[in-house]
Amino acid sequence: MKSSFFKNLGPISFTKIKEHLECTPINIDEDSSFNELTSIKNLNKKGLSFLIDDNISRENIVSNGAIICSQSCNRKFKDNNPLIIVNDVHSAVAKLSNIFYRPFTFDEIESFDEPKIDSNCNIAESAVIENGSIIGKNVNIGAGCYVGCNSIIGDNTIIDCNTIITNSIIAENVYVGRNSSIGQQGFGFAISNSKNIKIFHIGRVILQAGVYIGSNCTIDRGSFGDTIIGQNTYFDNQCHIAHNVIIGNNCIFAAMTGIAGSANIGNHVMTGGQVGIAGHLKIGNNVKIAAQSGVLKDIDDDSSVMGHPAINKFKYLRKYKKNYA
C-alpha cells in the first residue's frame, strides 16, 4: 500500500533485517533491499510481504516480491520464489513494521501543503486541521476536533465536537458524532520471548457515503490494508470497530457492538446492543443478531441468531423454553 499517512523508511537492507530476525533466506541475495512491508495483495518486486495463514491454498498466493513465511508454508511457493523463513511470522512482521514505518514528525507535517478547505465550510476556531488535509464543500467541524495530516473529508459531512480523525478518507454526507475517534492505531500485537510487540498499522479508515457514526465510537485503521465502512451504514453510540474490518452497505449496529479485527460483514446486517463478533469471521447479507449475542463462527446469508455462543434464533428459543419454562 502507498500510504500518505506515515513515513516509509525503506529501502531496508536484508542485512538490517537479519539484525532483528533469526531467519533463513531462500533465493535472496545478501545485498538485497526492500522498499516496503505490505500485504501480499499489494506486493511488488521490490517489496516484502508475509504469509501467516498456513491453511491458505497455493492457488490463492500471488507473489511478485519476497515473502516472510514459516517452514511449513515453504512448499506453497515456486522453487524460485524469494523467501525469508522464520519460526514465528507474526512476531517477525511486528518487529519489521516498526523498522519500515514511523509517524511523520511535526516538522515533516509542517512542510506539507496547507489544508485545502472550501470557502463554504464551518470550522470551529478550536478545531485543528493539519497540513495536507482536504476538506470538501459545506463541511462542519465542531469545537475541539482534530483532523490529522493528509486526511480527506467529503462534501456535506459533519464532524461533531471533540472528535479525532486521522489516517482516514471520508466520503460525502457522513456524520461522525461527538467524542469519537476514527483512524487510530489498531490493537494488533505479537508476543516474542514473553514480550509484547506492537504492530505498526499503516492502513486507513474509509467511510463511504452516507455513513452515520454515533457518539463515543472508535474505528481503528487497518494494519496493512484498510478498514472499510460501506454506504449508508449506521452506528449507535459506543461502538468499536477493529482494524481491517470490512462492513457492507445499509447495516445497523446498536450501542456497544464490538467487531474484532479482520471480520467481514455483509450488506443489511443488524445487531442489537452489546453484540460481540470475533475476528476473521464472515457474516453474510441480511443477518440479524440479537442483543448481547457472542458470535464465534461464520453466519450464512438471511440468518437470525442469538445467544452466547450465537446460534439459530429458533433453536435458542426452543432451548430456553425447555430449560426455563
Tell me the catalytic residues.
243
Percentages (nearest 5) of helix, strand, coil residues in the chain: 15, 30, 55
Q: Is 202 helix (H, G, I), strand (E, B) or coil?
A: coil
Q: Where are the alpha helices (DSSP H) in the chain?
A: 14-20, 89-100, 106-110, 313-324
- Written as nine digits, the cell of 323 is 430449560
Place of cell 514528525: 105
190: Cβ contacts below 8 Å, ≥ 6 apart = 88, 90, 91, 93, 94, 196, 197, 199
DSSP 8-state code for residue 219: E
- Written as nine digits, the cell of 133 is 488535509
> How many CA atoms lie within 13 Å of 166's alpha carbon, on the beta-carbon side?
19
214: Cβ contacts below 8 Å, ≥ 6 apart = 177, 180, 235, 236, 237, 238, 239, 255
Alpha-carbon distance of 32 to 46, in angstroms, equals 9
Place of cell 487497518: 222
> How many CA atoms lie within 13 Å of 140's alpha carbon, on the beta-carbon side?
11
Place of cell 480523525: 165
- Written as nine digits, the cell of 188 is 494488533
Q: What are phi and psi of 66, to 5 degrees?
A: -85, 150
Rounded to a whole number of angstroms, the CA Rg of the chain reads: 22
DSSP 8-state code for residue 299: B
116: Cβ contacts below 8 Å, ≥ 6 apart = 133, 134, 135
| 274, 209, 206, 53 alpha-carbon torsion, rounded to 10° | 70
